[in-house]
């Protein structure tokens, strides 16, 4: 676990230096190294879990503001933070605007589909086509043949 924490912190350091264009700046012995990031609220708890380990293992202060993906993209584009986090990759326009940004995936998420089915099973199976048809209004009832076939 320790080596994974250090590897992630090093990746953040490298990306932050690349993103901010500060590759030549080195902290003096009196000045502790620090990284400031902002963005995705989804990854906030993960980054907060890294803070004490990064401080302990790398003698580096890590600060992160959970302001949302759009805010993180805006702040890294404006170079007001060392790294920005977003739940999704940058669009081509965002990437072009964020000159010299480097995208480094460091967390994965999943999407769930909540539903309420009074008197029915607690769990049902849906595939991509059935889910799309529900959102498109083609399937309107839980006993639709397409849903019944999967369950």
What are the pLDDT digits (tens) for 80-129? 999 999 999 999 999 999 999 999 998 888 778 888 888 777 788 999 99
Q: Is a pLDDT exceeding 60 seen at residue 36?
A: yes
Whether 107 is in a domain gets the answer no
Assess whether 116 and 66 both reside in one domain.
Answer: no
In a shared domain, residues 89 and 143: no
Distance CA 54, CA 59 (A): 7
Residue-range definition of the domain harbouring residue 17: 2-97
> To the nearest 10°, the Cα dihedral for 93, 94, 100, 105?
-120
Do 11 and 84 lie in one domain? The reply is: yes
Considering the domain boundaries, does residue 10 fall inside one? yes
Report the chain's mean pLDDT, rounded to a whole number.
83
Residues 71 and 117 in one domain: no
């Amino acid at each position: 676990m320790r080596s994974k924490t250090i590897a992630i912190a090093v990746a953040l350091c490298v990306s932050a230096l690349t993103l901010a264009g500060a590759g030549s700046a080195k902290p003096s012995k009196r000045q502790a190294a620090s990284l400031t990031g902002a963005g995705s609220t989804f990854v906030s708890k993960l980054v907060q879990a890294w803070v004490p380990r990064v401080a302990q293992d790398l003698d580096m202060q890590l600060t992160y503001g959970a302001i949302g993906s759009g805010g993180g993209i805006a702040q890294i584009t404006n170079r007001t933070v060392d790294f920005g986090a977003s739940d999704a990759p940058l669009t081509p326009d965002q990437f072009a605007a964020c000159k010299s940004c480097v995208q480094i995936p460091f967390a994965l998420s999943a999407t769930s589909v909540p539903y309420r089915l009074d008197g029915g099973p607690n769990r049902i199976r849906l595939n991509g086509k059935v889910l799309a048809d529900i959102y498109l209004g083609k399937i309107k009832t839980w006993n639709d043949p397409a849903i019944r076939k999967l369950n």
